[in-house]
């Protein structure tokens, strides 16, 4: 028989927020969310409610509200509530939202996809869109290479964590950009726009276990600009070079620290980081204070740390970086100076190791310039270890050159007091006014006007122990030699000469047919 009509069965329907309590077994459709419910309204039911029937439109994570942390071990479960019978339950959505991955925002990390927009979106959504601290959480970068073609803007309160600097790599590929990544304000403004429009200025940033790789020339790996309270540990900052550069055509750096006229960068700490394969590894020339590097590695570059170039001043009205400290770190495979301090009160190198540094890329034994060079008072080398031998130390290739002239190899400096240990030289037989020891001092006003040299001379069986006291200024130099000898005279006398404000120690030796050795330690009070 032919079917004339099929009756249509109607169920409850409406928007989700207005869906009424359904009768037992009655179906209801939320037309806005496309989710289906069935009524559980009987008096004998454990709970009167509408029960969702799972469909493709269901939010499974939000529906799963029975997650409880177990912490199971040795047959025991953790008690998460006030008792084992009343555990704390959460939805799976809440559980997963405890952590945020950059891949949750669309980043691929596959080494080919442009992840710039996804990374900046994640940073904005987690740290900039609201002032509520509950929004902020660590942004995780799973192992992978994240290609970026524009600046990654790291706002205030950002926390970035990777799988290790050999695994989580942000690689900048656009030569038209200033940096791979840069600190920004709360609405991701950078450079001269930082802080405008009432935005929160950069600061309170933490990073761990990542690499920032500038794969093209002229692009800095990382720039910290006008930021305060920044901690970076176990990160790698890599430039575009494939080997040690013998010359530089630009100021490309692994890390640059910058300030503005109104806001200084302050309290920045690098711990266990690697700076490598850039023209300059660290550049800090603007006004800033309290910048520290601890347990870091500086390698494969034209120059290591360049501090305070073009700045000047005197405390308390200083202009430039103040209190830059580099400690317990390694410098290796650096063409030019490991640390070059142009200006910067409190610039200190302490307990660092300098291996193949300032050898023009030719290796140890080919000294080309000073390992450390300081240009002013208040810059210190304390307990540093140098691979450079005494034989490679000359007036132009010191371990430490201080205050614009070669004064020797500073091991300890404190304030205006400086002491250099363990230096030796040859007293050549039958010389007149020889400068072969390579000991010189500045006679400029305010520099090294008071010098003491503790020394011993061994020449055949003759020995001398004494103290040379040198007093000098721009117009006159005086030397006093207080000594005692054993087994006869060593036949050595000392004098001074001055040229272009540099006072040089000279010696004259008698003709005994035998040269000698002089070991000495220099003390200066500037």
To the nearest whole percent, how much of the chain has pLDDT over 90? 51
The answer to whether residues 269 and 298 touch, using CB atoms and an 8 Å cutoff, is no
Give the model confidence (pLDDT) of 350-381 as tens digits: 999 999 999 999 998 899 999 999 987 678 88
Helix, strand, or coil (residue 491): coil
Dump pLDDT digits (tens) for 445-460. 455 678 899 999 999 9
pLDDT band of 411, cuts 50, 70, 90: low
- 364-to-246, 387, 421 alpha-carbon distances in Å: 16, 8, 21
Contacts 24+ apart (CB under 8 A), 472-478: 472/441, 472/443, 472/448, 472/496, 472/498, 472/503, 473/443, 473/445, 473/449, 474/443, 474/444, 474/445, 474/501, 477/443, 477/503
| pLDDT value of position 347 | 92
Q: Identify the residue whose tokens are 């799963």.
A: 64
DSSP letter string, 337-375: -SEEESS-TT-EEES-EE-SBSSTTS-TT---S-SEEE-
Residue ranges of domains in the chain, CATH in brackets: 8-65+89-98 (no CATH), 123-416 (2.160.20.10), 424-525 (2.60.40.1680)
- pLDDT of amino acid 407: 43
The pTM assigned to this predicted structure is 0.71
Q: How far apart are the C-alpha atoms of 138 and 115, rounded to whole Å?
A: 18
pLDDT at 69: 79
- CA separation, residue 314 to residues 322, 372, 473 (Å): 11, 22, 22
pLDDT tens-digit map of 111-154: 999 999 999 999 999 998 766 666 788 999 999 999 999 999 99
pLDDT of 405 higher than 60: no
Distance CA 287, CA 265 (A): 7
pLDDT digits (tens, 9 = 90+) for 33-55: 888 888 876 555 455 577 777 77
Cα–Cα separations (whole angstroms), residue 407 to 294, 375, 396, 433, 448: 27, 12, 10, 19, 9
Helix (H), strand (E) at residue 173 = none
User: Of 103-117, 253-267, 370-384, which one has max mean pLDDT?
Assistant: 103-117
pLDDT band at 257 (very low <50, low <70, confident <90, very high): very high
Give the tens place of pLDDT for each residue, 185-227: 888 888 888 878 778 889 999 999 999 999 998 899 999 999 9
Q: Look at residue 172 and tell me whether its pLDDT is greater than 80.
A: yes
Distance (Å, rounded) from C-alpha 207 to C-alpha 233?
6
Looking at per-residue pLDDT, the higher value among 148 and 82 belongs to 148
Kindly report, residue by residue over 334-345, the tens digit of the pLDDT.
999 999 999 888
Asked if 122 contacts 105 with a C-beta cutoff of 8 angstroms, the reply is: yes
Question: For residues 232 and 208, what is the distance between their CA atoms, to the nearest angstrom?
Answer: 6
Q: What is the pLDDT of residue 408?
A: 44
Strand order in the sheet with 49-53: 12-14, 27-30, 35-40, 49-53
Integer Cα distance of 291 and 444 in angstroms: 31
* 3-class secondary structure, 118: helix
> In the prediction, which pLDDT does 512 show?
93
Q: Give the per-residue pLDDT at 313.
A: 59
Confidence class for position 20, pLDDT limits 50, 70, 90: confident
**pLDDT score at 317:** 45
Residue 57 pLDDT more than 80? no
Per-residue burial over 439-468, b = 16 or more CB atoms within 10 Å of its CB, e = otherwise: bbbbbbeebbbebbbebbbebeebbbebeb
pLDDT of residue 316: 45
How high is the mean pLDDT of the chain?
86
| CB atoms near residue 12 (< 10 Å) | 17
Confidence of residue 261 (pLDDT cuts 50, 70, 90): confident
116: region left, alpha or beta (phi > 0 left; psi from -120 to 50 alpha) = alpha
Q: Tell how strand 516-525 and strand 417-427 pair up.
A: antiparallel
């Amino acid at each position: 028989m032919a079917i004339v009509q099929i009756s249509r069965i109607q169920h409850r329907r409406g928007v989700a927020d207005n869906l009424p309590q359904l009768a037992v077994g009655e179906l209801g459709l939320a037309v806005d969310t496309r989710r289906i419910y069935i009524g559980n309204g009987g008096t004998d039911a454990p709970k009167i409610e509408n029960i969702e029937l799972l469909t493709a439109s269901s939010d499974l994570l939000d529906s799963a509200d029975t997650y409880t942390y177990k912490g199971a071990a040795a047959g025991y479960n953790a008690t998460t509530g006030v008792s084992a019978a009343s555990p704390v339950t959460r939805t799976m959505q809440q559980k997963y939202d405890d952590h945020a991955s950059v891949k949750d925002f669309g980043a691929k990390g596959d080494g080919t996809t442009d992840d710039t927009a996804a990374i900046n979106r994640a940073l904005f959504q987690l740290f900039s869109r609201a002032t509520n601290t509950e929004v902020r959480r660590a942004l995780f970068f799973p192992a992978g290479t994240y290609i970026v073609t524009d600046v990654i803007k790291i706002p205030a309160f950002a926390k970035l964590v990777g799988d290790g600097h050999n695994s989580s790599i942000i690689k900048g590929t656009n030569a038209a950009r200033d940096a791979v990544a840069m600190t920004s304000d709360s609405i991701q403004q950078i450079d001269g726009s930082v802080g405008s429009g009432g935005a929160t200025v950069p600061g309170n940033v933490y990073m761990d276990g990542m690499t920032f790789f500038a794969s093209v020339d002229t692009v800095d790996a990382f720039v910290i600009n006008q930021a305060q309270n920044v901690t970076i540990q176990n990160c790698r900052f890599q430039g575009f070079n494939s080997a040690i550069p013998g010359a530089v055509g630009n100021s490309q750096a692994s890390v640059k620290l910058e300030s503005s006229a109104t806001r200084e960068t302050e309290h920045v700490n690098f711990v266990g980081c690697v700076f490598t394969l850039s023209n300059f590894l660290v550049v800090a020339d603007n006004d800033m204070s309290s910048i520290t590097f601890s347990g870091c590695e500086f390698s494969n570059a034209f120059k290591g740390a360049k501090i305070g170039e073009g700045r000047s001043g005197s405390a308390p009205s200083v202009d430039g970086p103040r209190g830059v400290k580099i400690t317990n770190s390694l410098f290796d495979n650096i063409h030019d100076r490991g640390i070059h301090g142009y200006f910067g009160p409190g610039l200190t190198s302490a307990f660092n190791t300098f291996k193949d540094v300032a050898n023009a890329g030719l290796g140890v034994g080919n000294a080309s310039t000073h390992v450390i060079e300081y240009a002013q008072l208040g810059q210190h080398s304390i307990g540093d270890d140098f691979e450079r031998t005494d034989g490679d130390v000359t007036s132009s290739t010191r371990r430490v050159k201080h205050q614009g002239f070669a004064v020797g190899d500073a091991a300890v400096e404190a304030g205006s007091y400086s002491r250099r240990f363990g230096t030796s030289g040859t007293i050549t037989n039958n010389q007149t006014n020889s400068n072969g020891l390579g000991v010189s001092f500045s006679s400029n006003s305010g520099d090294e006007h008071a010098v003491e040299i503790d020394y011993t001379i061994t020449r055949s069986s003759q020995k001398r122990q004494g103290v040379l006291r040198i007093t000098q200024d721009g117009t006159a130099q005086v030397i006093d030699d207080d000594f005692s000898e054993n087994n006869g005279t060593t036949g050595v006398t000392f004098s001074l000469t001055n040229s272009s404000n540099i006072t040089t120690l000279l010696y004259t030796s008698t003709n005994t047919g035998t040269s000698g050795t002089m070991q000495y330690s220099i003390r200066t009070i500037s």
